[in-house]
Amino acid sequence: MRAVEKIVKIEELQFNELSADKKDFVKKAQTASLQSYAPYSEFHVGCSVLHANGHIGTGSNQENASFPSGLCAERVALFESAKTLDDNKVTEIAVYASSTKYQVPKMLVPCAGCLQVISDLRNRQMSPIKIWMWDGAEDVFVAEDVSQFLPFHFELIKE
């Protein structure tokens, strides 16, 4: 028998050490969270999406009384971004959350459904997508690619 081991590498940075453009990028996720509709969970999430051409799109979670009809912030932002993948790849996403009801994890990893969407977009565009996670405090966590969270994800092979 042979064991297979995958190592997860997440970088921990300090917000005040980020460049001005990276601060702006993660803050856009925070601003997007203000537009969330979360009357049921009271967990407000925002996501910013950086494109290869420098454009930054955003999304926020949108809940619905008919659970699970709502949609996570990451999927709202990424589905909007997917329409231009051929000409304008997604290079990075940032996720931010706040709640008065729950403690937000310091490293807010996207849910499994969102990770799968990120993985599928990664496969479609054949390039990694960096994930920034911030709770508004000093620590910012960065994964170089969704494969850090889905180490055995499906990979498309183009011939």
Residues marked as catalytic: 74
Neighbours of 44 (CB within 10 A): 22
HSE of 17, CA atoms in CB hemisphere, 13 A: 7
At residue 49, what is the residue type? V
8 A C-beta contact, residue 48 and residue 29: yes
Q: How far apart are CA 29 and CA 116, in angstroms?
A: 20
Q: How far apart are CA 2 and CA 35, in angstroms?
A: 49
Bond into 105 cis (ω within 30): no
Nearest to residue 54, comparing CAs of 22, 79, 78, 15? 22
Instruction: Tell me the two tokens of residue 66.
Output: 């008919």
Nearest to residue 135, comparing CAs of 52, 10, 27? 27
